[in-house]
Amino acid sequence: MINSSEKLAMLYKTEIMQIFSKTIM
């Protein structure tokens, strides 16, 4: 079972990854 904090962490990770890839390109 995934708790809300873990879900939030995953969401932040994906957001950061998207921003990161945009900055690299």
Position 7, amino acid: K
Structure tokens at 13: 């990770």
Question: For residue 1, what pLDDT is reported?
Answer: 61
C-alpha atoms less than 13 angstroms from C-alpha of 4 in its C-beta half-sphere: 0
Alpha-carbon distance of 13 to 16, in angstroms, equals 5
Query: For tokens 């950061």, what's the residue?
Result: 16
CA dihedral 14, 19, 24, 25 (to 10 degrees): 100
Alpha-carbon distance of 8 to 16, in angstroms, equals 12
What is the tens place of the pLDDT at every residue in 1-25? Answer: 668 999 999 999 999 999 999 987 7
